[in-house]
Structure 1
Amino acid sequence: MASVKKVVLAYSGGLDTSIIVKWLQENYQCEVVTFTADIGQGEEVEPARAKALAMGIKPENIYINDLREEFVRDFVFPMFRANTVYEGEYLLGTSIARPLIAKRLVEIANEAGADAISHGATGKGNDQVRFELGAYALKPGVKVIAPWREWTMGSRDSLMAYAEQHNIPVDFKKAGKKSPYSMDANLLHISYEGGILEEPWAEAEEDMWRWSVSPETAPDQATYIELTYKQGDPVALNGQSLSPAEMLTILNKLGGENGIGRLDLVENRYVGMKSRGCYETPGGTIMLKAHRAIESITLDREVAHLKDSLMPKYAEMIYNGYWWSPERQMLQTLIDHSQQYVNGVVRLKLYKGNVIVAGRQSDDSLFDTKIATFDEDGGAYNQKDAEGFIKLNALRMRIAANKGR
């Protein structure tokens, strides 16, 4: 093993990262610093402190940070200004959390004087790429230790045997405590992989879903809400100002109660394989619909179309781990500039898995009723102008048709 004096580990306190702590101590003979992030995963993060102490981590080397507001404000909201969707469906709930974790890993490494960072992502997944691209972008000389690419353990049984051998206290050792799925949650979404989901033909079990009721059992009465937008971000719900994390938390609750935000997807991972996963993104699904609605009346046509044409590339950058790249930052500047007039209120109807736009209004609206009306417009629009417009746009096709093409 290469010489490492101190390493910062992204630590959840679960089976994998608890084993990694011991493995790092044993194989690298180094001091371990643990970092546990609260990004709204819905689980108590403080027990990670007791677990780290039990693993011999010094109290001053245990970092537990509440990053919920930063996560939504600086990562989720900027992404949603672009109406970002990967491969037509995925709202990138896992992907967008990784650059924040990478950023904090590097910050702690600098604070603690560590010369390496470590994570528990496997060698088959996207997260290893996202963590490490972010780390190298922010701290080019950092050493990254990815145990799943180094050790010989390849199954849950081998991990459990290692835990038993080294007296590692792991909650999952209790019978019946393990979910059949590999799950990852944050304030934007919860994901499910593994188990029966590895068979694309198998329908996800109803009791798998944690955040939402099924659309069939959602209330028969629709829920109406109003979202106020300022420069592309939702800032108030039903007239009440909310912080970014508060906004997403409440929208998750409202969406989940109405069966909104479920997704079953086979996606193309950056490492090359196809993977089937299920996702719940209730608040994000509401925000995407609302944002497109307010943009529909406040954005110039060509600006809106240009944004839509760039969005798949922007989504790909985030999915593949290039949040900290110059090209993503360049696109973000363009996207943010487009949002200066995206202000106003959207009224939505939430009903049995659906998010339905019921109204939108803005002082910055480009919708002109006098021009758009089917009634008399008082001369606001000269319909004869359309004749020359059509002929000029048809010119190239007429020339080609005359040539028999």
Structure 2
Amino acid sequence: AVAHGCTGKGNDQLRFDAVFRAMGLEVIAPMRELKFVRSEEIEYAKEKGIDVPVKKDTPWSIDENLWSRSIEGGRLEDPSFIPPEEIFAWTKSTEDAPDTPHLLKITFREGVPVALDGKLLDGTELIRKLNEIAGEHGVGRTDIIEDRVLGLKARENYEHPAATVLIKAHRDLEQLVLTRNELRFKEVVDARWSELVYQGLLLDPLYDDLNAFIDSTQKRVSGEVTVKLYKGSMQILGRSSEFALYREDWVSFDSGGGIDPMAADGFSKFHGLQARMCRTGR
């Protein structure tokens, strides 16, 4: 058997339950059985001598791991309430962030970030380091109304500095090396993959199927992306890859390489053909 402390309103209970039960384990969820509200949970912990880092006047529910930190509960449940700065631990406000931008080069190898500014780091170390750097510059805050699996709308605040930078940089590199068809289909795959993860359906066969496609596309996603971090913003400044499908000599207005102008003229006569037929009625 496996026990967890999730309540009956959140998503985590479903994520844990789905995985544990698929493994044939019995699930014990005392918080669901006791039906405590947050203030009662705090009082119960106090009675049992359990030290919890929340109070009745600041009953923030905080979860964190290497990838992100979530904050909810208390007055944050009012969607119009402006979050106090005290709830944030990983990111600085834009007002307190440094006045000087930070330029950073991220190296990817087959889709995986492996180095910062040329220094090789293992995955855990790289994410921790990037959390520090990007968080210092106020990058990676989200205040969102999300739809939980149970159908409830909930207000969530998140901190995810490294995730913000890596996802955006990774997508930019994909844009350089993947074909147009791959990119379009991967948008669909990424969305469905994210839904499965959000719902905790990691043991669904579709999850393995989607990963097989993603793994195949990442074989060429190797290169470097340069980013600028400044007061809550993250901007791509440049990218390079040995697998780039970009040809400067083909696309340049100062070069005659690439597409033959007369071939383009012939192609353009048929481009938008169906739209013209609809407009003219023939």
Which TM bucket (shorter chain)? over 0.9
Describe the superposition over 1:228-254 as per-residue Cα deviations: whole angstroms up to 9, x where unpaired.
100001001111110000000000000
Say if 1:341 and 1:152 are closer, same or farther in 2 by CA, change over 3 A. Answer: closer
Q: How big is the shift at 1:317?
A: 1.0
Describe the superposition over 1:173-202 as per-residue Cα deviations: whole angstroms up to 9, x where unpaired.
x99698431000111111100111111111
Number of the residue aligned with 2:220 = 341
Moved over 4 A (4+): 174-179
1:399 pairs with 269, 273, 277, which one?
277
Q: Is 1:312 aligned with 2:197? A: no
Describe the superposition over 1:22-61 as per-residue Cα deviations: whole angstroms up to 9, x where unpaired.
xxxxxxxxxxxxxxxxxxxxxxxxxxxxxxxxxxxxxxxx
TM-score normalised per structure 1: 0.66
For the residue of structure 2 that corresponds to 1:279, the secondary structure is strand
The within-5 A match list for 1:117-266 is 117-137=2-22, 139=23, 141-157=24-40, 160-161=43-44, 164=47, 168-172=48-52, 179-266=58-145
Q: Is 1:267 aligned with 2:139? A: no
Measure the CA separation in 2 of the matches of 1:177 and 1:163: 11
**For this pair of structures, how many residues does the alignment match?**
282
TM-score normalised per structure 2: 0.93
Number of the residue aligned with 1:298 = 177
Measure the CA separation in 2 of the matches of 1:188 and 1:242: 16
Contact in 1 for aligned 2:42/2:56 (Cα 8 Å): no
Say if 1:392 and 1:175 are closer, same or farther in 2 by CA, change over 3 A. Answer: closer
Measure the CA separation in 2 of the matches of 1:289 and 1:231: 16
Measure the CA separation in 1 of the matches of 2:263 and 2:281: 28
Describe the superposition over 1:37-95 as per-residue Cα deviations: whole angstroms up to 9, x where unpaired.
xxxxxxxxxxxxxxxxxxxxxxxxxxxxxxxxxxxxxxxxxxxxxxxxxxxxxxxxxxx
Number of the residue aligned with 2:267 = 389
Q: How big is the shift at 1:151?
A: 2.5
| Alignment-mate amino acid for residue 270 of structure 1 | V
Say if 1:379 and 1:240 are closer, same or farther in 2 by CA, change over 3 A. Answer: closer
Say if 1:335 and 1:277 are closer, same or farther in 2 by CA, change over 3 A. Answer: same
| Alignment-mate amino acid for residue 171 of structure 1 | D
For the residue of structure 2 that corresponds to 1:285, the secondary structure is helix
Q: How big is the shift at 1:156?
A: 2.9
Contact in 2 for aligned 1:222/1:349 (Cα 8 Å): yes
Measure the CA separation in 2 of the matches of 1:151 and 1:157: 10
Identity, in percent, stands at 38
Say if 1:321 and 1:289 are closer, same or farther in 2 by CA, change over 3 A. Answer: same
Contact in 1 for aligned 2:14/2:200 (Cα 8 Å): yes
Measure the CA separation in 1 of the matches of 2:266 and 2:169: 37
Q: How big is the shift at 1:163?
A: 5.9
Contact in 1 for aligned 2:249/2:257 (Cα 8 Å): no
Q: How big is the shift at 1:152?
A: 4.5
Q: How big is the shift at 1:396?
A: 2.0
Describe the superposition over 1:117-145 as per-residue Cα deviations: whole angstroms up to 9, x where unpaired.
121111111111100111123x1x32212
Contact in 1 for aligned 2:105/2:226 (Cα 8 Å): yes
Structure 1 unmatched ranges of 5 or more: 1-115
Q: How big is the shift at 1:270?
A: 0.4
Structure 2 unmatched ranges of 5 or more: none
Q: How big is the shift at 1:402?
A: 3.2
Say if 1:387 and 1:334 are closer, same or farther in 2 by CA, change over 3 A. Answer: same
Contact in 2 for aligned 1:153/1:159 (Cα 8 Å): no
Number of the residue aligned with 1:7 = none
Contact in 1 for aligned 2:39/2:56 (Cα 8 Å): no
Contact in 1 for aligned 2:250/2:256 (Cα 8 Å): no
Measure the CA separation in 2 of the matches of 1:282 and 1:146: 32
Measure the CA separation in 2 of the matches of 1:122 and 1:302: 43
2:235 pairs with 356, 374, 378, which one?
356
Say if 1:210 and 1:178 are closer, same or farther in 2 by CA, change over 3 A. Answer: farther
